[in-house]
């Protein structure tokens, strides 16, 4: 009997912080991201690199980004894609 991998049900497994941040920016934009998570790196001259640098040093901020990423994934699964025009 084999045991399943420990991370099999973890939606964050294998997803880099950069990939999460890029997806969030693509979905919400920098202003929307700054509205949802009040961090200066999202509202004042935002960039992926400066945000990654800050998030890697600040565990509580990274947790907020991970939480918003999971929320975005759940919302995307709930709503069907828009029909093409």
Q: Which domain holds residue 44?
A: 17-75
- What is the domain count for the chain? 1
**Residue 65 counted as domain residue:** yes
Which tops the pLDDT comparison, 85 or 56? 56
Residue 69's CATH number: 1.10.720.30
End-to-end CA separation in angstroms for the chain: 51
Q: At what angle do helices 48-57 and 17-36 cross, to 10 degrees?
A: 90
Whether the pLDDT of residue 1 is over 70: the answer is no
pLDDT in tens, 26-84: 999 999 999 999 999 999 999 999 999 999 999 999 999 999 999 999 998 888 766 77
Helix (H), strand (E), coil (C) string for 21-45:
HHHHHHHHHHHHHHHHCCCHHHHCC
Determine the length of the chain: 85
For residue 34, tell me if it sits in a domain: yes
């Amino acid at each position: 009997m084999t045991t399943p991998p420990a991370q099999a049900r973890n939606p964050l497994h294998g997803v880099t912080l950069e990939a999460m941040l890029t997806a969030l920016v693509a979905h919400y934009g920098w202003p929307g991201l700054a509205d949802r998570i009040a961090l200066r790196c999202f509202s004042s001259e935002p960039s992926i690199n400066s945000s990654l640098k800050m998030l890697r040093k600040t565990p509580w901020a990274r947790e907020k980004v991970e939480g918003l990423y999971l929320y975005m994934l759940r919302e995307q699964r709930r709503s069907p894609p828009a029909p093409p025009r």
